Amino acid sequence: MALYGGARDISMFRRVNRELMGSIISEEVIYYKYNVTTTKTNMYGESVEGRNFADPVMLFALVEVGGTTSPVSDLGVDFSWPLTFKFLRDDLLSKLNEANQGQPFNTYQQPNIQYGASLHPEVGDVINYQNGYWEVDNTNATQFFMGKDPQYPYYDADGDNPLNTGLENFGYNVGIECICHYVPSDRLNIINSRM
Amino acid sequence: MSNIPIWPGSSSFAQVSASYYDLNIWPPPTPFGFYDSDSQFKTDANKVANFCALRLGYPIENVELQDINFWAGFEEATTIYGNELYAFQTRDNYLSLEGAPTSVDVNDDIVTPTFSTIVRLSQQYGEEAGVGGNVAWLKGRLPLIPGQQRYDLAAWAEAEGIVGGIEIKNVYYQSPPAISQLYSPALLTGQGGLGGVPPAGLYGFGYGSATYLMMPTSFTMQNMQAIEMQNQVTLSNYSFNIVDNIISVFPIPGTGVFTDGDGGLDYGIYLVFDFIKIQDRIDAAFANGTNKISNTSNVPYINPTYSKINSIGRAWIFEYTLARAKDALGLVRNKYSSIPIPGSDVTLNGDNLVSSAATERDALITRLREYFDQTSRQALLERRQAESVARVAEINQVPMTIYIG
């Protein structure tokens, strides 16, 4: 059994992250999940009437803003603005996930947990940030506290790990980074219908 | 594991207490439950938890503690206050408490100083001076053998069955008093002098043998001084010394004129001395302390009654609770030097909280001890004396009028 990075510690980390990202930094973005099933494609697998997205989800994020450039090519002058959005992975899990469940405070206060987007970032998704749109080029979810991802306790068929038990309660997969490039809004099927 | 709840902004000590004590639902409101039944403790517990949370930044920031953390600090602060108070009381009164029954209610009793322990502590000096004490002085009688000057006192003690050795306090080996030679020892009625040296004869310095005339006291004193001077000049000096358990007597016994009926030496003479058994002296250090206060750990102070603590004490307890809460919060935030956040990590203020809490706790303890020390019996008497001196000096400022009767 591992010794450090247990569930109580992770609960503390999660809370600090949410306080930091939600109450102190409070940087919000709108995430548009690419909807594969409703997007029509041609024989080459390319979308034909524009891409369809699921309903937007507002998320707290840490945004690493890159510098803007205007590369010149044979097609003319382009515009490039790379951004990296970093999300707390627990915020993207289901509301039913343990990470988004609270415990009653003693016997007289019930928890009030509001997180849980049920969202899996993938290439092609679009993120709205400060009235601009960024398309996800790549995702990176390899930040493990104590080097352990609790999703992999390495149990055998009987649910046992002969060397270490309870590994699912240790370690932390902290966040997901979405590395994006700027996309002009006219290329997307997204209309800002409400302020 | 789902998220561990943290301070939500309010607490209910009564509810947690009821759930634990009535329904046996974990956790208990405080670790030891010393004051859980005290109604004012229950009331103040919620207030002090709120006070601490607000001082720690809530609601602007999260306070990663629960109500039971605050209450644990509250209980500890109250207990430490009692410890400091009763440790001070013990220090101030221990001479009067030592030896008292452990059943006394020292928490509420007023302790009046007594001499009991002082007298007991002084017994050793009386014992050494031979005027009391707790070690018996015993009489020893060592038969003197004609012609033998040296005697082994250790062997004598062993023969007497004394274990652990003896310590000689007095040796009665000295010349006969002059008064015994003032009258003639030859009085046939046996009412003459006490005998002794010099040889029996019609010695009687001035008082005859059968009858005597009452003389002025000054005359008697002169005669006695003359006898003493005579003995000192003409006779052997009575003396002794003791080296390594061997007592040597001077003069050597049997050189005098003590004779038996056959004209031989009188073997019935003894060296008398006072001694104590060394084991007695050691044993005197101990007394049966069963059910009695024998050290500071069994002075029967118990935890204070919270509701009886005044506002001065409670204010100290609140401050100390805050220091404990700050310490606990610092330890929570300081378990890991940095907290991972997406793509980076942050360092929390755990170090500052812990060091700040330690400084505050030390300052509070120092303040409390100084406060108690200023109310010690000695300090109060000194203050009273100073006030008295100051009062007299003040009165002396009043101009003296000339009274014309």
pLDDT in tens, A138-158: 999 999 999 999 989 888 888
CB contact under 8 A, A16 and B1: no
pLDDT at site A158: 86
pLDDT at site B356: 97
Mean pLDDT of chain A, nearest integer = 89
CB contact under 8 A, A102 and B344: no
How many residues are given for chain A? 195
Task: Flag whether residue A183 sits within 8 Å of chain B, measured between CB atoms.
Answer: no
B308 contacts B325 by C-beta, under 8 angstroms: no
Phi, psi of B108 (to 5 degrees): -110, -10
What is the enclosing helix (H) or strand (E) of A58? strand A57-60
B51 to chain A nearest CA, in Å?
19
pTM across the whole model = 0.78
Structure tokens at B136: 């018996």
Residue of B nearest to A86 (CA): B342
Nearest residue to A63 (alpha-carbon basis) of A87, A43, A40: A87
CB contact under 8 A, B343 and A175: yes
Residue of B nearest to A90 (CA): B342
Residue type, B139: K
- Cis peptide upstream of residue B59 (ω within 30 degrees of 0): yes
Average pLDDT over residues A77-82: 95
Cα B363 to Cα B243: distance, rounded to the nearest angstrom: 60
Among the partner-chain residues A16, A23, A175, the one whose CB lies closest to the CB of B342 is A175
Q: What is the dihedral of CA A84, A89, A94, A100, to 10 degrees?
A: -130
B65 contacts B7 by C-beta, under 8 angstroms: yes
pLDDT at site B192: 39
**CB-CB neighbours of B300 under 10 Å:** 15
Distance in Å from the first CA to the final CA of chain A: 51
**CB-CB neighbours of A34 under 10 Å:** 19
CB contact under 8 A, B340 and A111: no
Strands (E), B74-209: 138-143, 150-152, 166-172
In degrees, rounded to 5, the angle at the alpha carbon of residue A113 between the alpha carbons of residues A25 and B72 is: 90
Nearest residue to B306 (alpha-carbon basis) of B36, B38, B87: B38
Residue of A nearest to B11 (CA): A108
- Cis peptide upstream of residue B5 (ω within 30 degrees of 0): no
Nearest residue to A125 (alpha-carbon basis) of A41, A17, A45, A51: A51
The separation between CA B88 and the C-alpha centre of its own chain, rounded to angstroms, equals: 16
pLDDT at site B163: 92
Average pLDDT over residues A119-127: 95
Give me the residues of chain B with pLDDT under 70, please.
1, 180, 183-214, 254-268
How many Cβ pairs within 8 Å bridge chains A and B?
110
In degrees, rounded to 5, the angle at the alpha carbon of residue A44 between the alpha carbons of residues A43 and A47 is: 90
Q: Where are the alpha helices (DSSP H) in chain A?
A: 7-18, 89-92
Residue type, B250: F
Task: Flag whether residue B5 sits within 8 Å of chain A, measured between CB atoms.
Answer: yes
pLDDT at site B232: 81
Q: Which residues of B touch A14 (CB under 8 A)?
A: 3
Please give the residue that has the higher pLDDT: either B32 or A101.
B32
B52 to chain A nearest CA, in Å?
18
A148 contacts A168 by C-beta, under 8 angstroms: no
- The yes/no answer to whether this complex scores an ipTM above 0.90 is no
CB contact under 8 A, B5 and A109: yes
Q: The sheet that has B246-250: what strands, in order across it?
A: B150-152, B246-250, B239-243
Structure tokens at B88: 């001070």
Residue type, B202: L
Nearest residue to B5 (alpha-carbon basis) of A7, A97, A92, A110: A110
Residue B359's alpha-carbon distances to A53, A109, B323, B356, in angstroms, are 57, 34, 9, 5
Cα A172 to Cα B340: distance, rounded to the nearest angstrom: 9
Average pLDDT over residues A73-84: 94
Phi, psi of B189 (to 5 degrees): -75, -5
Nearest residue to B42 (alpha-carbon basis) of B65, B11, B87: B11
Structure tokens at B175: 């010349």
B233 contacts B209 by C-beta, under 8 angstroms: no
Q: Which residues of B touch A139 (CB under 8 A)?
A: none
pLDDT at site A183: 94
Query: CB-side exposure of B195: number of CA atoms within 13 Å?
Result: 7
CB contacts under 8 A, A 96-125 vs B, are 98-109, 111, 113
B341 contacts A17 by C-beta, under 8 angstroms: yes
CB contact under 8 A, B342 and A13: no
pLDDT confidence bin for A64, thresholds 50/70/90: very high
Cβ-based neighbours of B47, under 8 Å, separated by 6 or more? none
- Cis peptide upstream of residue B251 (ω within 30 degrees of 0): yes
